[in-house]
């Protein structure tokens, strides 16, 4: 899949190693889609919420709340996902409270393998396919997914259920969830990496797990926090020659040389990741910001806009 049609999907799942900027990329994708007139829901998964505060709003919790024109957010957690699913099945809240709020029942439910992941993924995918008045409720659902291993566990739940559950409502749920997740016309899994050795290695491993293991459609890979190439070779050699000069010239020249060397290392790691994955990367700029908020997200969205 190319980056040009990413925002035409119904579901975009963003994942990668912890600390690579998944939430920022999720927020920027939502902002870019909203600029194009789409109604977007950003879903965080049982997490300390980052997206809504980053966009200038307050945390949404388990209730869907608008944060900007065209953008709403929600934080999906196992307890509220169970309540919502159970109410869809039993219909009557009094019955739900009598059964599912029972301490003994909750104890046994916690022992069911992958139940939390099943419920949370079901809630997310339900929003991705839900309709109102004959049209999709959301043009795009962006999932700020857990990091690496937890993301694989979450996205692998339907396939695991299909391999183990013989029949009944749970298998039917697994069938439609797997059909949505594996449909490249509706879904893309986007990876985020930093141009550093460990994130690059882990991104390549995650890509293989998602593609070869889970057979999920993968979207573009964002290489986040790429330093600018500020100097030509000749300029860099002159700066190295000035590094031993007295202040302020010497320290300024040394800082410039360090930045250039950082950029060279980042470029090399980006080339390594491109070779490992065999497909192009979409670089996002390294920003210097004293406060990481809506303005920074807008700058990332601007950078995406030139590539998507």
How confident is the model at residue 96, as a pLDDT?
40
Global pTM reads: 0.88
pLDDT at 166 over 90: no
How confident is the model at residue 209, as a pLDDT?
96
Q: How many Å apart are CA 68 and CA 39, to the nearest integer? A: 10
How confident is the model at residue 1, as a pLDDT?
54
How confident is the model at residue 165, as a pLDDT?
80
For the chain, domains (ranges, CATH) are 3-77+113-225+279-305 (3.40.50.300)
Q: Residue 191's closest CA among 221, 215, 213, 216?
A: 221
| Sequence-ordered alpha helix ranges (H) in 169-288 | 169-181, 197-208, 233-242, 249-277
Here the tokens at position 154 are 């979450």
Here the tokens at position 158 are 């339907």
* SS3 of the chain: helix, strand, coil, percent, to 5: 55, 15, 30
Q: How many Å apart are CA 72 and CA 65, to the nearest integer? A: 5
* 97 or 31: which leads in pLDDT: 31
The helices-and-strands tally (H runs, E runs) of the chain is 13, 10
pLDDT at 82 over 80: no
DSSP sequence for 127-150: HHH-EETTEES-SEEEEEPPPHHH
Q: What is the pLDDT of residues 105-163, one digit of tens each?
A: 444 445 444 667 887 898 999 999 999 888 999 999 999 999 999 999 999 999 988 88
**Dmax over Cα atoms in the chain, in whole Å?**
79
Q: Worst-scoring range by mean pLDDT, 141-150, 167-176, 195-204, 230-239?
A: 167-176
């Amino acid at each position: 899949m190319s980056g040009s049609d990413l925002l035409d999907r119904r579901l975009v799942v963003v994942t990668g190693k912890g600390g690579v900027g998944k939430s920022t990329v999720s927020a920027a994708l939502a902002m870019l889609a909203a600029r194009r007139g789409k109604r977007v829901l950003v879903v965080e998964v049982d997490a300390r919420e980052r997206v809504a505060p980053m966009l200038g709003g307050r945390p949404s919790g388990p209730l869907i709340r608008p944060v900007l024109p065209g953008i709403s957010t929600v934080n999906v957690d196992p307890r509220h996902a169970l309540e919502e699913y159970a109410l869809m099945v039993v219909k009557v809240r009094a019955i739900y409270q009598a059964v599912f709020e029972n301490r003994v029942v909750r104890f046994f439910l916690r022992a069911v393998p992958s139940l939390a992941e099943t419920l949370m993924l079901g809630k997310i995918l339900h929003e991705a396919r839900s309709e109102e008045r004959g049209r999709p409720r959301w043009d795009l659902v962006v999932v700020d997914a857990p990091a690496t291993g937890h993301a694989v566990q979450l996205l692998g739940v339907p396939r695991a259920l299909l391999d183990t559950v013989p029949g009944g409502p749970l298998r039917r749920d697994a069938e439609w969830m797997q059909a949505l997740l594996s449909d490249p016309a509706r879904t893309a899994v986007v990876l985020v990496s930093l141009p550093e050795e460990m994130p690059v290695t882990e991104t390549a491993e995650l890509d293989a797990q998602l593609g070869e293991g889970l057979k999920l459609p993968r979207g573009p890979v964002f290489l986040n926090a790429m330093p600018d190439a500020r100097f030509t070779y000749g300029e860099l050699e002159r700066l190295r020659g000035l590094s031993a000069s007295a202040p302020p010239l010497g320290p300024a020249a040394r800082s410039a040389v360090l930045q250039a060397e950082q950029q060279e290392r980042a470029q090399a790691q980006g080339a390594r990741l491109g070779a490992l994955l065999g497909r192009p990367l979409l670089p996002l700029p390294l920003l210097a910001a004293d406060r990481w908020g809506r303005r920074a997200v807008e700058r990332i969205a601007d950078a995406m806009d030139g590539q998507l």
